[in-house]
A and B are shown apart, each in its own frame.
Chain A
């Protein structure tokens, strides 16, 4: 096997971000290549087929299913209004039994086996927005577009909440301070708020109250997350939570200083507009939460990709991602190749890391990730 290390999260001041904005079903693309778009520009829209509502007409009218065709007043494909009579049976010439449509739409099917009529409701419109501020660089006919922008880019490790955007505001004096509720006030309305090592549950609640759009912070307590959502996240697939803002955690669970590089980058862009997305999926086809800060001036693509490919080398900046040194940052000082026996008696390839305070430790290579960018 190749290098045993976990590729890190990307934090960079200059890169090119492209996002596919695709409809769930085929539809109309509203923009063309070269168009400038902002996060809330609608780039594509379509109509989703309405929901299906079955109604057992034979049962309702007390007739055998095979007689259903005789009593139906509507045929397959006919439009219907809610409450409209769709079937009628007359008994003894005067008694009439009626069956009424339960939704507006069309008749989808009539079954003489089951006596069931399927009604298809009205289609509902679906729109896809640009999410980024940038330019349309590709149109995928009937499906959507690719929006591209030059941007500063921060990948988080875990997030909740979907796509949003707002102006960046730094709320803590440094990357170590806890973002507590006393640091949240009305001035943060519509902002993406940057905190230090942890956001407290109270601060998160207050941020929602004042109308902040998002929070970017080093850590968050799982116990608070559970209290906040009302349930325990069992598998890391998020993004659809409707909590009133988007949260992006950059380091992990618990109180962990935000990487200085990340904090400094965000501070440098304070006052600028950022697009934020908390969607996370930690399985095949990994999705990480992110913060994209579109830049008006076109830049060259960041040339640091070479470092990503080369893997761990002496001097590589790393973050330890498991106890006992969880969250600590440092640089690789040695990469011994033989397997070593850990305290747990597992055998693993290890590395030596020198932390920011000068301490050194031996850590399994699987337990570090590179700080990329």
Chain B
């Protein structure tokens, strides 16, 4: 491919994401001073038999781009033409991949809540699926740990433990367990399993003696050099390096694909994390992204607990999804929690069978309204559960001593407290079939609100066609193009949610509001258990219109400025608009009678125009 010293010279970009079932290609072009998505093509992924060559799927997807755009991208030798010239060729080609099961890792550390958790954070941040976390204190006996390591067959292992200069014994003990298990790589037996050691530097020699004969051992800087600091970047970089070198190189056709791309192929979730982090940093906001799939739900977040530095976290809820894992959502959430979102009665036996039938036939779609309402109720619970997991993982470092003053006497936060702060969260982005393909955008907005229960003022958006992975890897090559396309073409801005936090002993008025909409000023009161929708759309570029607002919460409620304090702000619009949510936080339906619950659900759904004909069910 052509090389560009100046990223500004890049005018045409092709990016693909090789998923486990579909390969998606996008074409981005620079016109009139801005980068925009021009076309999108897709084709089945061809990693598995009978094709066993990922590039076939890539060529098919790019072929669709050619048909749609009229641009010739591939030469006679089926290679990309580069650089671009008129209607021919592309300047850059990049790709991400989660085909063939993605990147599967095992991590190990000494203390579960300290070095092992840091190692887990490094692996998840690099886009891996963490199969298991082994730690000295994980309550398993050594022989059980060895059995587990032996059976896992990961793509690689990340081994950590100890602070630099600390005791060596424990981390070497873990290395001995790994050595005894003699783990084998998942793909092929022709190479040694890669193990990254990112623990106490003083133990390197001992770890090397224990492991170097059996595995492909790499040493990087300690990911927890001192207790108070994490240093995850070197481990993450090595994971990406090994992903290219070992995992990708073993998958069919990837050697060829790697020779085509202008930037290293990145694991899909790693790339999604990168774009969310880039956007959050660029606008200095706090953001949460969620990708709810058929089998798993990924949650990404950037929060700024110290007010400036963005802390990125990613979690994968391996068994929370809308098809393969739908039955597990049902089992974990329990029937009453799912049914609390459904405004009609369904027979339990019948419901259970329906859920299991979706599990065994995952590609089916809801035909009737009743099925759609039920499916979206399950999605709300899957989102809620995945976010609960995320909150417990995205924490300040555990095991760190905190200095406290007398001022902290009444408000002591524990070590390991979550950094997820719903009040300071600026933006919530959803993607995945159930959100992106909901028949009405209002449904996606309500699923995000009910699943995450945002507090204060939060913007809502969905990824229109799931191109966050491609844009993530694009940030490595042309960050401006990535952020422009993300804002204008990738995101569908839904609007914002205004949800006062707090509860009142005698529920009544929650908030007074005055919003200057382009169509005129609206003002009024928002009552307890009330939801309101005010349309405020998009401008001609697809960006949200803004409206000035004065919001006066009652004294038990907070909108971010403290209980009872007025907030003067700008509210963002979108295809749904401004949603005022008076359902209190924490949200609690249990005080309502069954009839009240059903009536309230129907009121919310009607006010937000969620479904048509819900009253008839």
Q: Does A158 contact B (CB under 8 A)?
A: yes
A309 interface residue (CB < 8 Å to B): no
Q: In which size bucket is the chain A interface?
A: 35 or more
Contacts of B439 on A, CB cut-off 8 Å? 344-347
Q: Residues 46-79 of chain A: 1 if any B CB is under 8 Å from the residue's CB, otherwise 0?
A: 0000011110000000000100000000000000
Whole-angstrom distance between the Cβ of A44 and the nearest chain B Cβ: 18
User: Do A54 and B349 contact each other (CB < 8 Å), given the known contacts A254-B357, A282-B359, A323-B354?
Assistant: no
Instruction: Indicate which residue in B206, B353, B357 contacts A113 across the interface (CB closer than 8 Å).
Output: B206
A223 located at the interface, meaning its Cβ lies under 8 Å from any Cβ of chain B in the complex: yes
Tell me whether B362 and A282 are in contact (CB under 8 A). yes
Given contacts A236-B359, A280-B360, 19 further A-B contacts (CB under 8 A): A54-B143, A54-B180, A111-B172, A111-B210, A113-B169, A120-B180, A221-B353, A222-B353, A232-B328, A252-B353, A254-B353, A254-B357, A282-B359, A323-B370, A326-B354, A343-B367, A343-B368, A346-B366, A364-B365
- A-binding residues in B (CB < 8 A): 20, 42-44, 48, 101, 142-143, 146-147, 168-169, 172-173, 176-177, 179-181, 206, 210, 295, 319, 324-325, 327-328, 330-332, 348-350, 352-372, 437, 439-440, 611-612
Evaluate contact between B173 and A346: CB separation under 8 angstroms. no
Query: Which residues does chain A contribute within 8 Å of B372, judged by CB atoms?
Result: 344-346
Which residue in chain A gives the minimum CB-CB distance to B181?
A52
Give the docked Cα–Cα distance between A264 and B169 (Å): 67
Given A157-B360, A322-B367, A65 and B353 contact (CB-CB distance below 8 Å):
no
* Structural contact, B363 and A366, CB atoms closer than 8 A: yes
Q: Bound complex: CA of A283 vs CA of B331, how far in Å? A: 19
Per-residue CB contact flags for chain A residues 110-132 toward chain B (1 = under 8 Å, else 0) read 01011010101000000000000
Contact B42 A322 (CB under 8 A): no
Q: Mark A205-238, 1 if CB is under 8 A from B, else 0.
A: 0000000000000000111011000001111100
For residue A135, CB closer than 8 A to chain B, the reply is no
Q: Which residues of B contact A280 (CB under 8 A)?
A: 360
Chain A residues within 8 Å of B332, by CB: 234
Q: Given A54-B177, A114-B173, A364-B365, is A326 in contact with B325 using a C-beta cutoff of 8 Å?
A: no
Cβ of A141 under 8 Å from chain B: no
Contact of A322 among B356, B359, B365 (CB under 8 A): B365
Which chain A positions have C-beta within 8 A of B169? 65, 113-114
Q: Taking A234-B319, A283-B295 as contacts, is the C-beta distance between A221 and B349 under 8 angstroms?
A: yes
Q: Check if B353 sits within 8 Å of A235, measured CB to CB.
A: no
Please tell me if A185 contacts chain B, counting CB pairs below 8 Å: no
- Taking a contact as CB atoms under 8 Å apart, the answer to whether A324 and B368 are in contact is yes
From 283 to 325 in chain A, residues with beta carbon under 8 angstroms from any chain B beta carbon are 283-285, 321-324
Which residues of A lie under 8 Å from residue B179 when comparing CB positions? 109
- Contact across chains for B361 and A252 when beta carbons are under 8 A apart: yes
How many angstroms between the C-alpha atoms of A342 and B366 in the bound complex? 9
B367 touches A364 (CB 8 A): yes
CA distance A51 to B145 in the complex (A): 11
User: Pick the contact of B172 from A113, A158, A232, A346 — CB < 8 Å?
Assistant: A113
What are 18 A-B contacts defined by CB distance under 8 Å?
A51-B146, A108-B180, A226-B352, A234-B319, A235-B328, A236-B360, A252-B356, A283-B324, A321-B361, A342-B367, A343-B367, A344-B365, A364-B364, A364-B365, A366-B364, A367-B364, A367-B365, A367-B367
| Cβ A344 vs Cβ B368 within 8 A | yes
Query: Are A223 and B352 closer than 8 Å at their CB atoms?
Result: yes
Whether A52 and B168, one on each chain, are in contact in the complex, defined by CB atoms closer than 8 angstroms, is no
Contacts of A343 in B (CB 8 A): 367-369
List, in ascending order, chain B residues with CB within 8 A of A158's CB.
Answer: 356, 360
Is A17 part of the contact surface with B, judged by Cβ < 8 Å?
Answer: no
- Whether A344 lies near B361 (C-beta < 8 A) is no
A322 touching B371, Cβ below 8 Å: yes
List the B side residues contacting A51 at CB < 8 Å.
143, 146-147
Q: Using a CB–CB distance below 8 Å, which chain A residues touch chain B?
A: 1-2, 6, 51-54, 65, 108-109, 111, 113-114, 116, 118, 120, 157-158, 221-223, 225-226, 232-236, 252-254, 280, 282-285, 321-324, 326, 342-348, 363-364, 366-367, 369
A108 to B172, CA, bound (A): 16
CB distance from A216 to the nearest CB of B (A): 16
Q: Known contacts A236-B359, A253-B353, A283-B295: does B146 contact A52 (CB below 8 Å)?
A: yes
In angstroms, how far is the closest chain A Cβ from the Cβ of B466? 15
For residue A344, give the distance in angstroms from its CB to the closest CB of chain B.
Answer: 4
A113-B172, A234-B319 known; A6-B357 Cβ under 8 A: no
Q: Which residue in chain A gives the minimum CB-CB distance to B203?
A: A113
- For the complex, give the distance between the alpha carbons of A324 and B440 in Å: 21
Cα A285 to Cα B49 in complex, Å, equals 10
Residues in chain A near residue B357, CB distance under 8 A: 252-254, 321-322, 326
In the complex, chain B residues whose CB is within 8 Å of the CB of A1? 42-44
A345 contacts across to B, CB distance below 8 A: 369, 372, 439-440, 611-612
Partner pick for A222 among B172, B356, B370, B612, CB 8 A cutoff? B356
B438: nearest residue on chain A (CB-CB)? A346
In the assembly, what is the distance between CA of A56 and CA of B198, in Å?
Answer: 25
Please give the distance in Å from A276's CB to the nearest CB on chain B. 18
- The reply to whether B367 and A284 contact each other, CB–CB distance below 8 Å, is no
Contact status of A321 and B367, CB under 8 A, knowing A65-B169, A253-B353: no
Q: Is the CB of B371 within 8 A of A223?
A: no
In whole angstroms, how far apart are the Cα atoms of A126 and B582 in the complex? 63
Closest to A288 in B: B360
Are B361 and A284 neighbours in the complex by a CB distance under 8 Å?
A: no
Distance in angstroms from B281 CB to nearest chain A CB is: 35
| Contact A234-B331, Cβ < 8 Å, known A284-B48, A324-B368 | yes
Residues of B within 8 A of A252 (CB): 353, 356-357, 360-361
Please report the C-alpha to C-alpha distance between residue A321 and residue B44 in the assembled complex, in whole angstroms: 23
Known contacts A346-B365, A367-B367; is-contact A282 B324 (Cβ 8 Å)? yes
Contact A344 B369, beta carbon cutoff 8 Å: yes
A235 neighbours in B (Cβ, 8 Å): 295, 319, 324-325, 327-328, 359
Check if B348 sits within 8 Å of A223, measured CB to CB.
Answer: yes
Cβ contacts under 8 Å, A367 to chain B: 364-365, 367
Q: Which of B147, B181, B359 lies at the interface centre, i.e. has the most chain A CB atoms within 10 A of its CB? A: B359
Contacts of A234 in B (CB 8 A): 319, 325, 327-328, 331-332
